[in-house]
Each structure stands twice: as structure tokens, then as C-alpha cells.
Amino acid sequence: MDRSRPHPNLEMRNLEIRNLEMRNPEIANRQSPIALACPVCFGSVEPVVRESMNAGIFVLLGVTAIVLGCFLRFFVTLARRSRESAHLIEPAPRERAA
């Protein structure tokens, strides 16, 4: 099966849905998810597009990992500073038991 183009029946269905949308906008809210899918979801993707999407995904994962790492370092630093400065705070006086 040639994956470079979507199935003709699927193209026809998309055209029918678009025509219905123009006549009745309320139908747009009740569409199935496949009607709104992009060509990537249909499998008609060129290798260059696929490689670019994968690179974009890895870049976003990298940025997410860096941000989470910064949060982790911030909280570890707060915990360390809190532990180091605990001796500066005077403990509350204890009450004697009667």
C-alpha cells in the first residue's frame, strides 16, 4: 500500500465533513477525531518531516529535563541551606512538667 497519499475514501469523507461544517457549524463540535487528524496521523509523512519531528520532540524533552533539573537543584539547595542554618535559631524553652 502506498503511504505517500491518504486513502481516497478518507479524503472524500473529510470533504463531506467540511461541506457539512459550512452548512451547519454545530456539526463541527460533534466530529470524530480522525476527521481532524493531520497527514502525519494518516501515515503520509516524508522521511525529512519525520526526522524533523523526532528532532523537535527530543529538543523539547531536553528542555523539559533541564528545567526539572533546575527545580531539583533549587530545592536541594534550599534543604542544604536550611540544614546549615538550623543552629542559628534558638530553640523554644521547654516547660517543666508539674
Work out the end-to-end distance of the chain between its first and last CA atoms, rounded to an integer number of angstroms.
Answer: 89
Q: What is the C-alpha to C-alpha distance for residues 48 and 51, in angstroms, rounded to an integer?
A: 5
| pLDDT for residue 75 | 97
Per residue of the chain (98 residues), what is the pLDDT tens digit? 455 555 556 566 666 666 665 666 555 556 555 556 666 666 666 888 888 888 999 999 999 999 999 999 999 999 999 998 888 877 767 776 65
Give domain limits for the chain. Answer: 1-45, 46-91
| pLDDT for residue 61 | 97
| pLDDT for residue 90 | 74
Q: Is 7 helix (H, G, I), strand (E, B) or coil?
A: coil
Ordered DSSP codes for 40-77: HHHT---HHHHHHHHHHHHHHHHHHHHHHHHHHHHHHH
